[in-house]
Structure 1
Amino acid sequence: MAVNLADLNFYRAVNPDLAGLNDPQAFSHLINAGLNEGRVFSPYIDLNLYRAVNTDLAAAGLTSNRQLYDHLQNAGVAEGRSFSPVFNANFYRAANADLAAAGLNNEQLLDHFRAAGINEGRASAPNFSVSFYIAANPDLQAAGFNFQQALQHYVFAGIREGRTAAPGGPVAPPPPPPPADPGNTPGSALNVGTLIGTRAFDQFVGFDDREDYYRFDVNSPINLKVYLDGVTANADVFLYEDINRNGVIDSGESIDSSQFSGTSSETISRNLAVGNYFVLVKADSQGRNTNYTLRLVNETSETVDVGVLNGTRSFSDLVGRTDPRDHYRFNLTSPSSFNLTLDGLTANADVLLYEDINNNGLIDSGESIDSSQFSGTSSESISRNLSSGNYFIVVTGDQGNTSYNLKISATPGVRPQSTNPINLNDSAISEFTVDPLINPRSFNTANESAIQTFTANGNAGSDLTGGLGNTTANLLLNESFTGGNDFANLLAANPVETPDFSQGLALV
């Protein structure tokens, strides 16, 4: 069975921007954004350590924090893998005979330690005993630390400070170092692997390190978003496809770039096919030094799949500077009345609606249907009739972090609104401006092109222009009267003003 890894109270406490989120909102943020942003979510779990000591996971293609979290939750804890400097299931069982006698499995041992063992001061790893740690560090005693606080001090400070935390035991190894500086050529690019979710990198370019290259793979078509921000001097970002997969950037392989001046943030948004890609972060021509944060976002993999929408669904999450776009996908199996509200905002957020017209699972150019983009914290709403098909909702917000409540509903059994304007041609007329039988004047089409009048001689269609040809006009009139084709005599007699229905009048 899967074990719950997230400590939501801790997650909110160490991430002040999330303080206002309730448990479902905090968990949704962790899964959809926080993990791949590298946010800390538990003092007992270290995904960097899990990645470093379980090298088979990277070989199997599990490289993102979300992938590692899912594996640890569903398999890693049960398998007894190392994932924490303060807990080891095999050690905890061996050091506590009562737990071994109770026959607790690895997942139950972790739950026991978090719920009771830590507060009882039990030894929990070869290099960590919380009771010893407090006893060996008078400053922690003077500060009045309890066992929980002492454990957190060790994880976030004591390891780095080289403090011993077990009787006669060695100091725990420091956490793995951050990723190496990206290479300065495509051949030495930092290999991100298959891009799933969000990958974030805090790095530097400048006078002595003008270019940083990143390489990533796409194994199914995606909506890609690239963000470059946090700069103190100008830096730009470039996107390339390694079309021939030779590991270098050749002529004609440039896809896109963002090159604003000054310290403006840079953004690239593209649909990518299966293939290999490079991202280049480049210092300005003067080589001024700047730190930066680069985020590569596979928006397709982060989309919340609602499934068939029939009735009402509600979602709560957060958008902002570090997580500016949330995606939702839903399906309608029949024409429906669709309604959406977005509220509970503490900063500006907007909402956009798209139809996946070609059913490729991506948001393509020309698929936008509607949006609501009021300023400030005003609620947003969209209401319209939709045909059956697949749709996307995008919640956006980049002016400041805000939680939000999204409510969507669909009621089947309505006539859908067209999402594309109809341009009428020779085969259609939108409306009559007047009754041509009583007062023959003109027709009016949706594109307002002129259709000239019927003349008294009954030369139907020959004087129609701007969208009706002779064939179409005669066809319409022939379908309007069942009494024959002598249109001149019929119009002259005006069967509407002379109520003789022997001619078989049938109005269109």
Structure 2
Amino acid sequence: MNSNLLNLDYYRRVNPDLANFTDEQATQHFFNFGLREGRDFSPVVDLDLYRAANPDLAAVGFTENRQFFDHLSNFGVGEGRLFSNTFHADFYRASHSDLIAIGFDNEQLFDHFLQFGINEGRVASNTFDIDFYLNSNPDLVAAGLDNRQGLNHFSRFGINEGRITSPQFDVGTYLGIHPDLVAAGLTSAQAFDHYQIFGFNERRFAAPVLPVPGDPGDTIETSFDLGTIVFGNRRFSDSLVTGDLRDIYQFTLARPSAVNLDFTVQGVSIFENTQVSLLGRSGDGPEFDEILDTDGRLSANISGVLPAGTYGLSVRTNQRPGFEMFREYEGSILATPVAGLPADRAGNSASAARDLGVLTTVQTFNDDLGLFDTADVYRFTLDATTNIEAVIDGNSHNAIVEIAEDLNNNGEIDGPQVGPEIFATANSESGLGFSLDAGTYFLRLRRDRVDTNYNLTLSPQASRLPPDGAGNTLSSALDLGVLSAGRSFSDTVSTADGIDYYQFEIDTPTNVGIVLDSVGGSPVLAIGRNLNGGDDRVLESIEILQQHFRDIGNIPQQQAWSLSLTPGTYFALVGSVAPISVPYNLNIAPTPPPGLPPDGAGSSSDTARNLDVLTGMETFSDSIGVADRTDYYRFVLDRPSTVDLLLEVAENRFSNTTRFDFFTDANANNIAPEMGESSRSIALDFATLRAETSLALDPGVYFVRVFNEIGDANINYELNLSATF
């Protein structure tokens, strides 16, 4: 089918020497001379752009304008090739749903634009919008130009004058923010062609900063509408000030699109807490009620694939009381149409999880995570204690991998505010591997800021990851029984096997010795109790013995502790906080390690040294430091009393970091001290190396905790407690 590319009226108008030619004469002139001479013949067709945008034609020997013209007329329009800065078939189709419904092909779309679309003011290109062009150039409105005349003006003058032409493209902005184009000497018209051929695919910014009339508003009803984005981008700018701490924008995607949001704070604020959120709708209501993605940094980027629809963009900040707020920001939304969204083969919640049944064999899955599909959840059941592993590969970007249980049966995997349902987390580079008891579990993969595909292998036999010698939950802890003799263990913790639990019993008050020998890493070691006896992985009383060392070069190869423990069931927890595998050797014995003194006071509230009813003065001498960082004392008052507390420490370069806390047992459980109205935290006087206070107290149970904030050296102290009535 031949497309009518020649506009005879335009050809005569822009070539004054042909002004009196009839249609037949003008047509003959064009084909006999005009094409060869490179004369302008249409406000829509640009043969130079067609030549530059389609190098395959030159590769087959095309050199003459007539060859390019004939190819465009016979094939190029129908094939949807680029030949114009004011018309693109895919853009025109995607921007107008009525044309999609009719089913026009590319040539029919071009004819429709020439006959109707121009007069109707329909947008047909990401670089030219006739309504925007006229409204942004008041001299053209004053001259009384209609839409077709405005298109002709752009083709003859505007493209060379650098006029603003579209909310998605401004040649002045394009040249202004890309100095390499200026250095190359591109003219305004050449910059248009460059963006069409290269800039858009290179995701170069080209949109003008849209003026925001007044405040965008903090609700969807008062939001600033950035309009429909088919191809290209939108840029916007405003400020957050005292009394106006949130702005909301909305935009519409005409087709499923890959979206890239860039956001930069340009001003300076006293309070650095700006959050950018991309919002969607989970239902049909007027408000955006679903946060698709968020970024709280000063320079934010959110990217991914979204279906066609209307979305919100929230920009907000907090304000510190007593300070004025002023923060300028600028954002840009770039949208590139895609064929469609990847199919979702796994649910997004525990209730909609893909059910794998009883896990008895290796299972493999391939899926995607994106802005509109941020999580994939798999449900599996184990009929016996099993060492399992989850390995993720083939992913283009990282993802977060979690193993969880739905403890409260609400169909969701909740965070720590309702219970520790997530008990193992890693990134997709390391995977997960551990021992699980019989039961039903969920494996969840979460998108980490960037869309990604992945391959998941879930296996009931750990083969690619190191075997797990100790369990990952309290119920699957390695049970040592009553600790009557020293026990030694060798294992590894990492992001794949983040926690190892060991369970042991104490039947009489005992000074327990703990020795941890870490090989090339820095695990965390903690001792705690499961006081309620439930299998909820919660240690209600816990003493963290070794924190993670940030300076890898200063990691001590061996650490030892002496702990005073009362009868009961205890758990030793060895965990990894570094993204590396950390082999370790652990020894637990019913005697202090060689060279360490016994611990005179417990290291947690439930193992506190019990003074019973305090009726007079009590004095205690002990030490705190690397092996025993904290000492607890518990006492009871049976009547209103004045209690005097005095702590004196021996001189040491770390002495001035020693302090003591005074707690009440506000919940009356004799276990967990709580900071209440009568609680105090008393620091040491640097000059006297003393800390003291006097408190008027009601009857009740109280705790005193002596500790050193650094804990890198042993510090001897003397504690005096006295009660008067």
The reply to whether TM is greater than 0.5 is no
Higher relative contact order (CA 8 A, sep 6+): 1
Per residue, is there more helix in 1 or in 2? 1
Structure with the higher strand share, 1 or 2: 2
TM-score (norm 1): 0.34
> Larger C-alpha radius of gyration, 1 or 2?
2
Q: TM-score, normalised by structure 2?
A: 0.24
